[in-house]
Every structure is written in structure tokens, then in C-alpha cells.
Structure 1
Amino acid sequence: MLNFNYYNPTRILFGKGEHTRIGSHLKNVSKVLIVYGGGSALKNGTLSRVQSSLEAEGIEYFTIGGVRPNPTLEFAEKVKNIAVDSGLDCLLAVGGGSVIDTCKVAAAWAKYDGDAWDFFTKGLKIEKALPIATVLTLPAAGSEQSMRVVINHNDLKLGTASEKIRPMISVVDPELFFTLPKNQIAAGVVDMISHIFERYFTNTEHTDFISSQAEAAIRTAMIYGPKLMENPKDYDAWCQVAMVGSWAHNGYYGLGQVEDWACHAMEHELSAYDPKITHGAGLAVITPAWLRFVSNVNPSRMQRFASEIMGKETIEEGINALCDFYKAMGMPSRLSEFGLTKEALEVCAKSACERTGMIGQFKKLTSEEVLSIYQSVH
């Protein structure tokens, strides 16, 4: 196990009705910009209840909606401009990972004189950012506790990380998830499991404490995810899945070990090429293909995945069981289902390794190997 330095200052307000009390936790804030997505938060009353909570504390607020899935730098710039021009002291994201990530970019950009794309392409560290609070409406990305952020720009989907953009407060109210479409529920469960996989598949030795907890979290998601597909208003199931999603990406399951992130890198290329591709759905196709490609790299770790997570005797049986789970959740199994051509895959494979030469750590992948993985599930 490697040395680590872990600090997570995000306050989690978990449970029924917590979003109606967000204002009481922002008493030191005087002016807020509420950022939301496609309008569901407006239609179902979540936004109005959040606004009422701010009003009760005398907090002035502005609103801007319209964040799309696979969010763009251009929209983050709009948020940044409002924040700077209005002298705001907090950004409040009401939404899922796309809305939260938009606020993270805008929060850092508001304290930087240059182009925020520098953070993603030039290795520039985020040194300052406006405070961020969130009211989660879609548990999937885990951005509500994470120091990471991903954004789309110039046909690229890139990420960076900084403790400066980790939210100070996040509301996780399971009742806000009751109206989610089943395809979003399924994709969200896949995404949170993938966040743990990216850390679980490591060549670092002596990680039993973290590995065992990662296995328990993944099994929990696989037990309760299908329950939500049967009944999206199952509060108790949402409590379990929401906990998995929020902790999956806050850094805990990667403590003391080298993380991988090849599957995310490969999927990001696909949803950058076609923003209509849902991130979790893409991961459902890529992850089993990657597992098969790297199955001989670290047999003991792969066998542990098969036995401790999937309950199977062999690695191949474990991978097949994971495919069966994704299928039962209604996820696609081939990249052709997204309408991606072989030519598109060649473009994505080249782009995946263009900036760093290779991706991943469990096994470092060249663009040729990435293309091979793509082609195996086309």
C-alpha cells in the first residue's frame, strides 16, 4: 500500500426533505447563482423549494438553466460571467454530474484571468475557486463529493482535479430521484460501479482494507440497482444506491494505490465524438471488453473480482456475469447500438492516446490496443 494524504471537507446532508433546508446551511453566503439542467428541477418543484429555502434566510439568488448532458465549456463560461459580473459568493448546482461539473469549471474560471481550458490542456493547477454547494438530483457521477471535473470542448472531453473545487456542502435527498427515467437509473448505477472499478483494478499490493470495502459497495449497487428498475420510488433502495454513488468517486476507494482510468478515457472519447451517448451506457459496453483484454495482466486481482464481486469461479464467468447484469439493467452491449462506425472508432482510438501516448495504469494501452478493444464490441 502506498502513502496517501486524504482530506474530504464536503458536508453531506442526507435524507428526506434535506433540500428544503439548504438555505440554513448557507447562512454565511449573501448572493448565490443557482445552476440547473434541462428543466426537470423546475417542473417537479425542486427548484422552487430550494429558492424558498434561500429566501427564508435572506439570501439573494440568480438562476440559469440549460446545462446539457456531457456539459460544455461554453456554458460554463456563461455561468462564470454571471458569477463575476454579479459579485456572487457561491454557486449552487441543482442537478446531476453535468450541472455540478459546469459549476466547478465556472467556480475556478471566476478566479482565473485566462481561459479555463488551460486547466485541462496545459496542466495548470486550479489554485482558487468560488465555493460550491450542490443539491443532487441524479446519483451517478459522484461529483457532489469529488475533487474531479470533466468538460467538453472542441470535440474533446477532458478532466482535471483540484481540492479547490470539491463542494463544501452537498444535499443527497433520495426522494428527489423518484421521477428519474429507468435508462438514467441504469446508466447511473453503471457509472458509479465503474468509478470503483477504476480504482479496484490496481497492481498495488496489500490493499485488502480498501479492496474489501470496494467489493461490498459494488455488490450493494448490484443488489439495489435492479430493485430501482422495478420500483423507481423505492426509498430504501435509493438510500443504498445513492450512498454507493456519492462515495464511489470521492477518492476513498483509491487510497494508497495506483488507479487505472482506462475505461473512462475510452468512453470519454466516444461521448465527446457523439454527445448523445450517455456516459454510463458507453461504460457498460467498454468495461467488459476492457476486462477481457487485460484478463491476463494480474490474474489474482481478476480472480478476486470474479469470486468476491461476481460470485463466480473463473475470470471469464465473472466477466460474463457482469455482462448479464448490465443487460438486465437494459444497457447496450455493442458500440454499433450507438450508431458509431468503424471510422469513428479509429478517430476515437487515436484521440484517446494523442495527448499522453498511452492510457491506463493496470495495463498501459496504446491507440492500437484501444482500437482493438473498441472493435471487439462493435
Structure 2
Amino acid sequence: MDFEFSEKVQGLRTRVKAFMDAHVHPNEATYIEQMANATDRWQPVPIVEKLKKTAKAEGLWNLFLAHSKKGFGLSNLEYAPLSEIMGRTQWASEVFNCSAPDTGNMETLELYGTEEQKKQWMLPLLEGEIRSAFCMTEPSVASSDATNIETSIVRDGDEYVINGRKWWSSGAGDPRCAVFIVMGKSDPTNMDKYRQQSMILVPRGTPGMTIHRMLPVFGYDDAPHGHAEISFENVRVPATNILLGEGRGFEIAQGRLGPGRIHHCMRTIGLMERALEMMCTRSLARSPFGKPLADQGVTIERIANSRIMIDQGRLLVLHAAWKMDTVGNKAAKREIAEIKVSIPNMACQIMDWAIQMHGGGGVTSDFGLARMYATARTMRIVDGPDEVHRHQLGRLELAKYKPARPNVAAE
């Protein structure tokens, strides 16, 4: 394992950091002001749209698309440090066209879409002309196990008919969201429970599809992105909208969620660095008991532990990225599960300490730490809860010690 960044990646790191320092960080207050004064919070934020044009003009666009000629062709390991830099500001990834769920949806179309599907949906996504949503989670079942989903996808001649209810459909609130990738069951009686599901493309505005509400996250509406609860009532789409083929939905989900999970963790490392930076700055500036908070033993200990956790987390993420690049997403499932559990938990602890350092101000919107904590805490559920990933890790570990089954073939 060699984690030394290539000359190409070092150059991109320098360029992305320079862009963040010149354009994103100086406009964080502008973003907050524009969101606060917007007459419609579900419209694109002007400063983000302006910076997108700048990033695109500077060639800092679609950095995420691994091993593709349509992007930079970066591996997961090469993309990790860039995603970390973007992650320091929660809305910055969109500026580079590297934000969820579009990244996962573009990768899904790249890997599993037909040429016509790519032309119709992936190319406009790559250009930033449209946005997209991913509809997998359902309110009535434990969707952490995708085999539980109940939405039906039934073939009827040259069409598929979709019925069901989804929620936490991220990206659906954006008026530019033009296509929804929907997962449902096309063959619920199949003896192989992993071949019952399919994924299908549903254009926005298709009759029978209704967005009922945008779900709040710890009181935040996450506008203009948002997470929707959506019903599908006899929604008809062409049979050509199926992805990869009937019964391939679980396979697609596994291929999609691996990169999605690691991208979340990459960005969260950047957010953790930002929280530690704020913790240090605040501790040096405040002297509530006659001396700076930075001189308090508990403060020094928390700062030290934060640095240890961030560096541990970064190495875990880089290791997972390297495994994904060298042996594939499926073979790297242990490493992906490890970071999916550890990184959000580390982030919650670091942000909790940073909030404590800011006192009453930490729980307001003045410093952004409350929003950062809400994001980190939600990450412990997004793309599978901690318990599911720990269960998988525990089973993989136990498998090393189980005795081999006796060979009964000769009997």
C-alpha cells in the first residue's frame, strides 16, 4: 500500500484548495445570507450557480467519476484527498458537480445504463444541466436490508407499472431534479431473494408520481436539495427504462452504495478537520476563567484526541479506497463497512467537543457547528445504519475461526 499522492493528484489538490480558498470559503456568509433571504428556498442558490461556472471554466468538474474517460479518470484513492478538501464546506461539492446523489446516479448510469440511457440522462448530469434522485428507502419496512422493499415494478407489454411509497429520496426537492432511479420488486416470488429486485428510471412529472413532503433532518430542511416522501400509483414508464435488466437491482445497489459510502466518509474527514480548526481557534480566543480555554487540560486533551481520530480515520478511508481500486467494491466490503461505522462516530465526537468549546453559540446557527453535527449524526443511518455494518463486520471476523465443514463428498 502506497498512499503517496501522484504528481497529478498533488496538482489537483493544489488547484482545488486554491479554488476553495479563493471562491468558496470567502462566500460562505453569502450562501447563508442568500438562503435566509430567499423567497423560495427550493430554488438554486445564486452563489453556488455562479461558482459552478467558475469551477467548470477552470476544469475542476466531475472529479469523482472513477476510471472513466468522461471525468478525470481518477481512482477512488486519487479522488479521496480532493473530496476531503471539498468536504470542509457542506455545499462545496455541488460547485464541482461532485455531490450526492448525483455522483452515485452518474456512476450507476455509467456502469449499468444503456447507451440511450446515458445519452438521455448521464450526459446532462455530467454537464450539470439537470439533477437526480435515488429512491430506495421505504417508510413501511426496514430498508437497511434491501430485500425487504415492497414497491412493485410489473411488466405490462412495452411498459413497467410502478406502485409503492418511498422516503428519504435525496435530491427530489431540487426543481432541476429530472430523473429518479427507483428500486422495487419485479419478481417477488423468485426463490433467490437477491434476484427479486430491479431498478428503473422514472422521469420527473410522470403521471402517478406524487411528492408529498420534504423530510426535516434534525429540524433542517436541507433546501434546495431536500429528502422527499414520494408515492408511485400506477406509474407507467417504457420498458427500455429498466437498468441492466430484471432481477439485477440488488446487484446494482451493491455496486452503487460502495462508492457512495466512501464518498460520504471522504467528505466527512474534511468536515472533521474544519471542526478541529474551529475548536482550536475558539480555545485560543476565549478566556472565560482568566486564561485561554487552550490552557485548560481538558481542552488540550480533546484537541489531541481529535487529531488522533482524524488521522486514524483518514488512513482507514485511504485503505478502503485502495482496496476498492485493487480488488473491487465487493471484495472491499469489510473495509467499506469499517469506515462507514467509524468515520461518522468520530465526527460526532469531534463536533460535540467543538460545540462545547463554543458554549451557547455552538448550538445556534451562528457557527455552523449544529448543522455539521446533524450531518454527521445522520451519516450513522444513511446508506445503512451502524448496526448493519457492525453485524457484517462481526460475521466476517467470526468466519475466520469457524471450523471447515467436513468433506462428505466421498461418502
TM-score, structure 1 as length reference: 0.28
Give TM-score, length-normalised by structure 2. Answer: 0.26
